[in-house]
Structure 1
């Protein structure tokens, strides 16, 4: 199970009204994902990045049955929930809480916000989709109330099929998220300059 460890950067949370929570990918680290913020329009944000135990949030593919990734998956979602609760307890409005992640971290980010839909500041998923061997729509309820969400991915991607990205977009839109999905031909499993520009334009433009 994961131990709660959060690395911070950017503004002190007491000196700003906007927070970005970043979720690293498999084999990555909180420090790695925080370095992404240097390319985002987030200089006025407090930045928080939880660290997965052994650098992995859950053991197998996000396309496995959820039970195969337990108890790690539930533990990871609980860590994010605790970080969000900590931020809100500091007086930050949920509509000023932003979340983002790459790969495994993008999948986890999307799974968390869709299980806990509400008006967030915005969500960025660099190569990710909802978790499971199929879409478990019974896990998802609530109203995003126009929350802007950007999902970028490669076609093909070795880990995330475009079909799951499109299914995820459909679920998010049905819950009133304002979703922009962009599929990049043969981009590879990475974050492109265009994705960064899209995130800045669509999400971090306030």
Structure 2
């Protein structure tokens, strides 16, 4: 049984909702703590929990088969969370995906495999998943969905090149992408990223 934590408002038509996806070694509770910084007061919040705190065992750029079946199972878990919001009456265009690190990668991967008009996608330090980006995995049209891809220019886990490749692919599929990179090497979420999301995606 997959674990989901629900907080905030009740999912319903005309209301916004966010699926918040934690990083490796973290928890649903930890990613939900971002509600203290992001403008999510009026949102229904849903946070899936990865088994053992890890969505997939190796680097997001490891050979594809090495992260199976965990990656497929994790994407299914996000699909179920998304589906539960739709069943609750929330429109896809009012659903936001917000993730950090592994959660950011999963947010981008799920959104791009199912591209449609969403409320927004926030990928704090992440990129599309795979040893190489397989363009055959991605379909649909984001129809102008705002997307943030952000992180360090020298992050030890997420190379700048993969963030740039992800920006290119999402843009090709109709997303309005902001790539925000930083000169420091910190694997974290910065105040500048929070401020940009609050103003341009959640505002």
- If the length of structure 2 is used for normalisation, what is the TM-score? 0.98
How many residues in Structure 1 have an aligned counterpart in Structure 2? 203
Can you list the C-alpha shifts for 1:50-83, whole angstroms capped at 9, x where unaligned? 0000000000000112211000000000000011
Distance 1:172 1:132 in 2: 15
Corresponding position: 1:30 with 2:22: no
Where does residue 144 of structure 1 map in the other structure? 142
Q: State the match for 2:72 in structure 1.
A: 74
Q: Match for residue 178 of structure 1?
A: 176
Aligned pairs for 1:1-206 within 5 A: 3-14=1-12, 17-205=15-203
Deviations 1:161-185 (A, max 9, x none): 0000000000000001000011111
Unaligned runs of 5+ in 1: none
Q: Secondary structure at the match of 1:76?
A: helix
Please report how far the alpha carbon of residue 151 of structure 1 lies from its aligned counterpart in structure 2 after TM superposition: 1.1
Q: Report how far residue 187 of structure 1 moved.
A: 4.5
8 Å CA contact 1:58, 1:73 repeated in 2: yes
* Shift of residue 16, structure 1, vs aligned partner: 6.5
Structure 2 unaligned blocks of 5 or more: none
1:156 counterpart SS class? coil
Q: What SS class does the counterpart of residue 138 from structure 1 fall into?
A: helix
- Report if the CA contact (8 A) 2:13-2:90 is conserved: no
Shift of 1:13: 2.1
CA shift for structure 1 position 88? 0.3
Distance 1:198 1:66 in 2: 33
CA RMSD, aligned part only?
1.1
Task: Name segments (4+ residues, structure 1) moved above 6 Å.
Answer: none
